[in-house]
Homo-oligomer: A and B are copies of this chain.
Amino acid sequence: MLAEIITIGDEILIGQIVDTNSAWMAKQLNDVGIRVKQISSVSDNREHILTALNEAASRADIILITGGLGPTKDDITKKTIAAYFNVGMVENPEALENVQRIFAKYSRPMLDINRLQAQVPANCQVIVNKNGTAPGMWFNEGGKIYVSMPGVPFEMMYMMDEEVIPKLKTSFNLPVIIHKTILTAGEGESFLAERIADIEDALPDHIKLAYLPKLGQVRLRLSAYGDNEQLLKNEVDHYAAKLIERIGSPVVADEDIALEKAILDYMAARNLTLSVAESCTGGYISHLFTQHAGSSKVFFGGAVSYSNQLKESLLGVKFSTLSKYGAVSEETVVEMAEGALTNFKSDYAIAVTGIAGPDGGTPDKPVGTVWIAAASRQKTIAKKFIFGNKRQQNIERSAASALTLLNTLLRDV
């Protein structure tokens, strides 16, 4: 069963927002055995939307559309969909009641353009939007399913979870796709490929292997296509076990999770705790950990010591160390990590200090110079990195390297 996703809105095409909806939707569809053939982002333009609908319908049986349903004038999606199906617009009582409910809840006056949100193409089944005023719309025409949803991520997500996926499951007899991902850290894509070449070559035709490299980590993804879920799972598990055995210590997890989540799971299982001391990563490492549910079992928190003053007062870095070696030095990063251990009373700590850029570089310490330390009660390891001159990348690569260093320390001790 094939699906296509069409996202509507000039804001994607001029680069003002990143389309995060499509990846999320694609994942939900794949989980129930629906493959996404293509994702297309098109403009708020009637002719263009019509062309995209025709192209998608020529390739797929399920067409999911997001965006272009807000109350204001730039949203022409609904009328274009009505034209595509050659039907008129009607006011839907359920959708109207929902708009009224939401305005009543927030005690705000309902405007004429809000009432217009209850207008839908005559041939649709309305999907009530519990989190907003724009209704979702389900169409079953010519043997194909079309669903139009708002572009606001949490409105769309709720509709997908509660209505669209369950309805698709009952509408089609779905095939099975099984994905299994192995997370590795610290080894390159080419190195891994060379090590597992014979296993990869021996894979049956209905199982594919993909390499997904990112920031010093490589995800190996096995995908199996067929009808018998249990059989496919067994096959995929069999090949995954062979890969894991062959690759050895770079394997961090046998599921598709973030490296920091693998670390949290590993530490939680051993009742270990963690704190951080972040300078140039500025809270990003803390954010990575705390975005995961249950992180508070392991993660105590820490200091974002952007200024030297806070490095001293929160982490106990000595003034003499900062003046003699500078804020970006092995001596400072070690004192930061050990200060975090002492002051925050955790079993492990990570510290990062560096020059994220674009300013602050010197001939000795150019932009991109970063010192990272990981510490336990027994041992502290520190490592210097020289990244590039792009701030956001330096933050991300510093965080990824800090996680890898902590992972090494955790599993070596």
A: residues with CB less than 8 A from B are 10-20, 22-30, 35-44, 48, 52, 55, 70-74, 108, 111, 113-114, 131, 152-154, 157, 179, 181, 188-191, 193-194, 200, 208-214, 219, 221, 223, 256, 276, 278-287, 289-291, 293-296, 299-307, 309-310, 313-314, 343-345, 356-359, 388, 390-393, 395
Contact = CB atoms under 8 A, between A and B. Distances in A.
Contacts of A194: 111, 113
- Most chain B CB within 10 A, of A20, A38, A157, A343, is at A38
Contacts of A70: 189, 211, 213
Contact of A306 (B284, B285, B300): B300
A313 B303 CA distance: 12
Contact of A291 (B48, B113, B282, B285): B282
A310 B209 CA distance: 45
Output the residue of A17, A20, A209, A310 with the most chain B CB within 10 A: A310
A21 to B, nearest CB: 9
B282 A290 contact: yes
A48 B38 contact: yes
B313 A190 contact: no
Question: Which of A26, A221, A299 is the most central at the interface, judged by chain B CB atoms within 10 Å of its CB?
Answer: A26
A55 B114 CA distance: 37
A391 B293 contact: yes
B41 A14 contact: no
B41 A13 contact: no
A153 to B, nearest CB: 8
20 contacts: A10-B208, A13-B39, A14-B30, A14-B36, A16-B27, A16-B256, A38-B43, A70-B189, A71-B193, A73-B193, A74-B209, A111-B194, A279-B301, A280-B290, A282-B295, A283-B290, A286-B306, A290-B395, A301-B306, A302-B304
Contact of A290 (B181, B306, B390): B306
A287 B283 contact: yes
A223 B14 contact: yes
Nearest to A211: B72
Contacts of A52: 38
A194 B114 CA distance: 11
B15 A18 contact: no
Contacts of A43: 37-38
B219 A16 contact: yes
A282 B293 contact: no
Nearest to A26: B15
B283 A304 contact: yes
A306 B276 CA distance: 11
A40 B276 CA distance: 40
B25 A193 contact: no
A191 to B, nearest CB: 8
A152 B218 CA distance: 13
A26 B42 CA distance: 12
Contacts of A27: 14-16
A18 B20 contact: yes
B23 A35 contact: no
Contacts of A25: 15
A297 to B, nearest CB: 10
A29 B157 CA distance: 30
A210 B37 contact: no
B310 A305 contact: no
A28 B15 contact: yes
Contact of A12 (B23, B113, B191, B193): B23
A177 to B, nearest CB: 8
